[in-house]
Structure 1
Amino acid sequence: MRSGRIALAVALLGVALGGCGDTDIGPGGGDEPGPAQIVETWTSCAEAAPQAGAILSVPNTGAPTPAGVEPKIGRIDSAFTPVTAVLCGRELRPGPGGGRDQVATERRATQIAPLLAALRLPDQESAGDVACTLDMIVPPWLALLDERGRWLRPYLPTDTCGKPRPELRTALAELSTTTVDTRVVGQVEGPAAEAAGCAQRWTDLVWVETSNGRPGPPAPATSLAAGPLRLCVYQVPSAQQGSGKPAGDFVYGGPLPAARQAGVLRALANRRAVVDCATPASRFAVLRPLDGTAGPDRYVELDGCRRFLVTASTGGGQLGQGDDALAALLGPV
C-alpha cells in the first residue's frame, strides 16, 4: 500500500474538466449547515463515491456503475467521534502494456486532529467588498469514520470568497494517507495513441462548429510554410455520429511525412464552395504542430461531407471543402 499526501486541484472557472469531483463547499448565504447524516456502515469508495474525482470520460466497460450513497453533508455531531478520514479520488497511471489508465483510489488517514480542527471552524463572513480570484479549489471527496465503522460527509467551512478556508486546505495538503484500494476505471490513452503522440479521444470540431451555425464563410487561412505537423485520425462510433459533440477513438497517426504535408496544405488552401451536406463523418483527421506549440489546428472529415476546418489559436475558425484526394493524403503514416 502506498502512502502520500493529498493535493487540492486548482482550475480556472470555465475551463475545469467536467466531473472533476464534489466540491463539498456546501450551502452559501451564510446559513449554518445542520449536522451531517450518519451512515451505519462504510463499505468502499467504489460503492459510496463511484464517480469521485473523475478526470476524463472513459468508455463504458459494460459493467453497471454503482449508484453510490449520497448522505446529507453537514457539521460533525458531538455524538460522533471520527478516527479515520477516507478520501476517494482518481489518478492517471501508466498502463501495463503502455498508454495510461484512469485509476480510482481509496486513501485513508488516521492522524486527523488538524483536519478535524479545521472542519469545526465557522465560515468566514465577508467584511465588505472582497477581491476574489477566478480559480476554483476542488478538494477531494472526503468522509469521516468512527470506531464502529459508521461514517459521514463533513461540511467544509469556507472563506469570504466561498472557497475552502486556508486552514482546511493546509490540513488536507499535509494529511498523510495510505492507499488501501485501487481499481482501473478505464483506459485514457492506449499504447498506439501514446506512440503516435496523439490523444486517445478527440471531438469532431467540424461537425460541432457547422451544426452550431459556425464558422464564417469559406476562406481557409492556411500557410503553405507551416512547420512539421502531426496527424491523428479518429473513428466516430455510430452512436456518436450526428450528436452534439461526437467523440472519436484513435485509429492511427504520427508525424506527417513532408511530401504529404505539402499536398495537404495545398488542398487546405483551396477556395472551393462548401457543399450543402448534413452527413456525419465516421472518420476525421486532426493536424497539429509536431512540436506541440500553439498554432492553427486543422480538422478534416475523411468521409461524409469531406469538409475541413482551420481553427486559430486565438479562437475562431474557417470552413473549407475537401475531397477524396485530400482524404487519401491523410491515410496511415
Structure 2
Amino acid sequence: MRSSRTALAVALLGMALGGCGGTDIESGVATEPGPAQIVEGWTSCATAAPRAGELITAPTTRPSASAVPEPTIGRIDPAFAPVAAVLCGREIRPGAGGGQEQIATERRAQEIAPLLAALRLPNEKGDGEVACTLDMVIPPWLALVDDRGRWLRPYLPTDPCGKPRAEVTAALAGPQWTTVDTRTVGRLGNPAADAVGCAPQWSDMVWVRTRTGRPAPPGPVAAPAAGPLRLCVYQVPPSEQGGGKPAGDFVYGGQLPAERQAGVLRALGNRRAVVDCATPASRFAVLRPLDGGGPERYVELDGCHRFLVESTDGAQLGQGDATLSRLLGPI
C-alpha cells in the first residue's frame, strides 16, 4: 500500500505539472488532459511568457510586463504539425557592475521529432508500490510552433510519481537548442547596496499607499532622540513610474548623519496639508532604524514630495518639500 508520504509527493508534483490533467492519488497516474489550445501568431517569449522561470530573490521584485492569458495546456491535436519548439526561461549570470543579473532567455529547436514522439506518449501507470520522492518538478515553459506561426503549450506525459516521463526529459535535453533572444530583467545583488545594508530594489510605498487607501495625516513631531537611521535611496525607471507597485533600483545610502537625521525627523513631523498631486516620483528614500525596530519612513524626493510613516499603529501620510529632499541627498 502506498504511504501517505508517497501520496503527498504525487499530489504536489501533479500540481506543479499543471495543465488540464490532474493526478489520481489512488492510482498514481495523471488523468488525461484535453487538447491544447492553439494560439495564432507566435511572436516571442517576451510577449507570450514574460514571467516564465521568474526568480523571487528580493523582498520586493519588479513586476513583469502584463502578459496575455496563458493558453490551455493539453495534448497535441493530430491536425497541428509543429516545425519548431521554443523554451522560455530565466538564467543567472554575473552583472556588468557586480552582483548578479536575471536574464530571460528564448531558445528554439528545429529537429524535434524525438520530442514530439515523447510528448505523444501516454501517462505511465504505477503498480501501487512505487517509491516516489518529495522533490517538486517544475516543468519548463515549452511551446510548439507550426509553419503558419500558430503555437500551443503541450502537456508533458508523466510517470507514476507525477513527474515528466524519462522519455520527455531525455528529448528535452536532446535537441540542439539555439538561443535566439536574451534580455536582462532584474538584478540579484548589488555590491554597493550590500555594503551599506540596503536592498538592491524596493517599492515606492508612498505611491502604493495613496493608490490603495488614503493613510491618516502625520502624528506629533518625532523625537529627535530616535535611534540611528539607515538611508536607502532608489531610482524608479520610467517604465515603472505610475504602475501599481513601482520598483526602484538602489542609487545610494548609508547611516544618516546625526545632524541631518534631526532635521529629517522634524520635517517628517510637520502637519501641513497634503497637496492634491498625482505626479509619480522618479526617486524615493527609505529610512529604517539600524536596529530593525521602529517605524519605516518613505519620502518622495521629487514628484509630489509626499512622505509616509508606517508603524504598528498604521500608516500616516504627510507633505514634504525640496528642503527635506536635500537632507536626504548622498551621504
Q: TM-score, normalised by structure 1?
A: 0.56
Question: In 2, are the aligned partners of 1:73 and 1:154 still within 8 Å (CA)?
Answer: yes
1:236–1:218 CA distance, 2 compared to 1 (3 A): farther
Q: 1:330 aligns with which of 325, 328, 331?
A: 328
The offset of 1:38, in angstroms, is 8.9
1:202-237 CA-partner distances (Å, limit 9, x unpaired): 432212212333212322796743354132232463
Amino acid in structure 1 at the alignment position of 2:123: R
The offset of 1:170, in angstroms, is 9.3
The 5 Å alignment of 1:213-232 reads: 213-219=213-219, 224-232=225-233
Amino acid in structure 2 at the alignment position of 1:120: N
The offset of 1:143, in angstroms, is 4.9
Alignment match, 1:273:
272
Aligned residues: 275
Amino acid in structure 2 at the alignment position of 1:181: T
The offset of 1:255, in angstroms, is 0.9
1:217–1:264 CA distance, 2 compared to 1 (3 A): same
Alignment match, 2:179:
181
Amino acid in structure 2 at the alignment position of 1:311: E
Partners of 2:166 and 2:315 in 1: how far apart? Answer: 46
1:154–1:319 CA distance, 2 compared to 1 (3 A): same
Question: In 2, are the aligned partners of 1:85 and 1:144 still within 8 Å (CA)?
Answer: yes
Question: In 2, are the aligned partners of 1:206 and 1:301 still within 8 Å (CA)?
Answer: yes
Question: In 2, are the aligned partners of 1:267 and 1:326 still within 8 Å (CA)?
Answer: no
Amino acid in structure 2 at the alignment position of 1:214: R
Partners of 1:71 and 1:211 in 2: how far apart? Answer: 31
Partners of 2:137 and 2:227 in 1: how far apart? Answer: 39
Alignment match, 2:123:
120
The offset of 1:288, in angstroms, is 3.6
Runs (4+) of structure 1 exceeding 6 A deviation are: 77-80, 107-112, 115-119, 169-172
Partners of 1:98 and 1:214 in 2: how far apart? Answer: 39
Amino acid in structure 2 at the alignment position of 1:26: C
1:261–1:296 CA distance, 2 compared to 1 (3 A): farther
What are structure 2's unaligned runs of at least 5 residues? 1-11, 25-30, 55-60, 126-135, 146-150
1:248-287 CA-partner distances (Å, limit 9, x unpaired): 6447212133325632552365142333331523432122
Higher gyration radius (CA): 2
1:229–1:76 CA distance, 2 compared to 1 (3 A): same
1:33–1:209 CA distance, 2 compared to 1 (3 A): same
Partner secondary structure for residue 245 of structure 1: coil
Alignment match, 1:140:
140
Q: Does 1:167 align with 2:162?
A: yes
Question: In 2, are the aligned partners of 1:233 and 1:253 still within 8 Å (CA)?
Answer: yes
Question: In 2, are the aligned partners of 1:264 and 1:329 still within 8 Å (CA)?
Answer: yes
Amino acid in structure 2 at the alignment position of 1:255: G
Amino acid in structure 1 at the alignment position of 2:102: Q
Q: Does 1:26 align with 2:20?
A: yes
Question: In 2, are the aligned partners of 1:263 and 1:329 still within 8 Å (CA)?
Answer: no
Amino acid in structure 1 at the alignment position of 2:186: V
Partners of 2:143 and 2:310 in 1: how far apart? Answer: 44
Partners of 2:184 and 2:328 in 1: how far apart? Answer: 29
Partners of 2:95 and 2:45 in 1: how far apart? Answer: 20
The offset of 1:330, in angstroms, is 0.5
Amino acid in structure 1 at the alignment position of 2:231: R
The 5 Å alignment of 1:224-263 reads: 224-235=225-236, 237=238, 243-245=242-244, 247=246, 249-250=248-249, 252-259=251-258, 262-263=261-262
Partners of 2:144 and 2:17 in 1: how far apart? Answer: 16
The CA RMSD over aligned residues, in Å, is 5.5
The offset of 1:299, in angstroms, is 0.8
Q: Does 1:102 align with 2:102?
A: yes
1:306–1:120 CA distance, 2 compared to 1 (3 A): same
Amino acid in structure 1 at the alignment position of 2:232: L
The offset of 1:137, in angstroms, is 8.5
Partners of 1:107 and 1:71 in 2: how far apart? Answer: 19
Partners of 1:89 and 1:206 in 2: how far apart? Answer: 33
Of 194-203 and 299-308, the range deviating more from structure 2: 194-203
Amino acid in structure 1 at the alignment position of 2:271: R
Q: Does 1:51 align with 2:46?
A: no
Question: In 2, are the aligned partners of 1:235 and 1:248 still within 8 Å (CA)?
Answer: yes
Question: In 2, are the aligned partners of 1:230 and 1:290 still within 8 Å (CA)?
Answer: no
1:273–1:71 CA distance, 2 compared to 1 (3 A): closer
